[in-house]
Amino acid sequence: MQFAAALSLAGPLVLFAACKSAAPASTAPAKGPSSAAAAAPIPAPPSTPERPGVFAPAASSAISFWPEAYSGELLVTEVMPQGTVVAEGDVIAKLDTHSIDDQIHQAELEARSASIRNDGVVERNKIDDEAAASALELAKSALDRTKRSLEGWSAKEIPFARRSDDIGKKNEDAGIDDQKDELAQLEKMYKADELVDATEEIVLKRAKRRLAISEDACGLSVDRRKYKVDYDEAMQTEVKKEAVKTQEQALDRLVRTQAIERRAREDALARSKDALDQQKERLDRLKRDREKFAVHAPRAGVLLHGKEKDYRPGRTPARYERGSQLSARNDLFLVADPDSLAVAVDVPESMLKDAREGASVVVQAVAPASESGSGKIHIETYPSAKGGEENGYEATVRLEHAIPGVLFGMRAKVKLQAASGGEPAAATKAGP
């Protein structure tokens, strides 16, 4: 144990020698029997400041239980008694493992479930990726077909339709010309009187009617071709362009949607993998905690129950036994060097005015046989957190030599020195 700056208090006992007062020389006779000057009174020596102390280890290693993942009770099943001499690595205590074994089993189940869920996410992502790739290929193919249809319509279908219209118009024109030629020929024949009058009228009437119908049909075809060019072809061209635009927009939406879904799948996979890693890490931490349920000595020395602060005045060190409950994240045991002894003492604030750093003090054991030793005192810089009428300062005295028969935790008396310095105060007899 180490403590900060120290102050020391003391007061040497000083006895004043008596002195005679000499009578002045005089010729006058004395009025009474001759008497020697009375000795001056000896003042009472100041009392030596004394504080109760506790023998504590000056060099020790603390043992604590800091679980990484375990949350539950720490029940002692086996423990070495206070003061046992242990070697490094000795098992000084064992804790009940039922609770942590249950938590490890649960963590194994959770890790296995997390692994299955992660594998499922990986496989689903593969299926979704394949489906997305297929849908993207279909969308690209549909767009390509629509573009080819528009290109074919513009480059081939419209020219073909125009050529067909031209051929139809030529046929119509040729038919009308033929009918005109036939009518002219008939008229020539009739003028030559080759047929009777009745026959002439019938034939001419039919020829003129066919010619009129053909001319009307030709006019209708011209109007239809004009309508087809001005409206129908333009409408179909517009429809095909809109189909291409619709396919392009659909492909763009599909690409952006798939990008969002891909990021979502990647995020789901990352979260699933993180959850799996956390479950595995928790399982590993629990297994490491399981190893701590057998408490080993970090060094050779004397086993003490409790923490360093328990070996101070007014404190009661813990005593663990089978069935005791330990608290996590606290010092539970100490393994102390038996040859390195100190005394813990509390110094009230009212005594600091006479204290000094590194002052020598005398330590007297209450038992056995009131053995004593000496050492130097060191006092903490700041007051302790203990409540009381005045502040107290925790101090420690490193003994120069071990006191035979003294055990850690025994009580002691610490005698401080007076402010004038020197050795601890002791009574001195005065001369005559």
* Predicted structure pTM score: 0.64
- The CATH class of 60-96+293-336 is mainly beta
CA 5 to CA 12: how far, in whole Å? 23
Task: Map residue 178 onto helix, strand or coil.
Answer: helix
- Give CA separation, 261 vs 221, 255, 256, 267, 275, in Å: 56, 10, 9, 10, 21
* Residue 80 pLDDT: 96
* Residue 192 pLDDT: 63
Report residue 362: phi and psi, to 5°. -110, 135
Which has the higher per-residue pLDDT, 415 or 16?
Answer: 415
The residue extents of the domains of the chain are 1-15+43-59+338-421, 60-96+293-336, 102-290
Q: Using an 8 Å Cβ cutoff, are 410 and 53 in contact?
A: no
Residue 270 structure tokens: 């990352």
CATH topology of domain 1-15+43-59+338-421: Elongation Factor Tu (Ef-tu); domain 3 (2.40.30)
Residue-wise pLDDT for 254-268, tens only, equals 999 999 999 999 999
- In terms of Cα–Cα distance, which of 300, 188, 170 is closest to 225? 170
CATH topology of domain 102-290: Helix Hairpins (1.10.287)
* Sequence-distant (≥ 6) Cβ neighbours of residue 362 within 8 angstroms: 372, 373, 374, 414, 415, 424
Residue 347 structure tokens: 């110094």
Q: Using an 8 Å Cβ cutoff, are 352 and 383 in contact?
A: no
* Sequence-distant (≥ 6) Cβ neighbours of residue 415 within 8 angstroms: 48, 49, 50, 361, 362, 363, 364, 424, 425
Average pLDDT value over all residues in the chain: 81
CA 422 to chain centre: 58
Residue-wise pLDDT for 144-155, tens only, equals 999 998 888 888
**Single-letter residue type at 400:** E
Q: Does the pLDDT value for residue 330 go beyond 50?
A: yes
* Sequence-distant (≥ 6) Cβ neighbours of residue 378 within 8 angstroms: 2, 3, 4, 5, 6, 357, 358, 395, 396, 397, 398
Residue 225 structure tokens: 């071709």
| Equal CATH topology for 1-15+43-59+338-421 and 60-96+293-336 | no
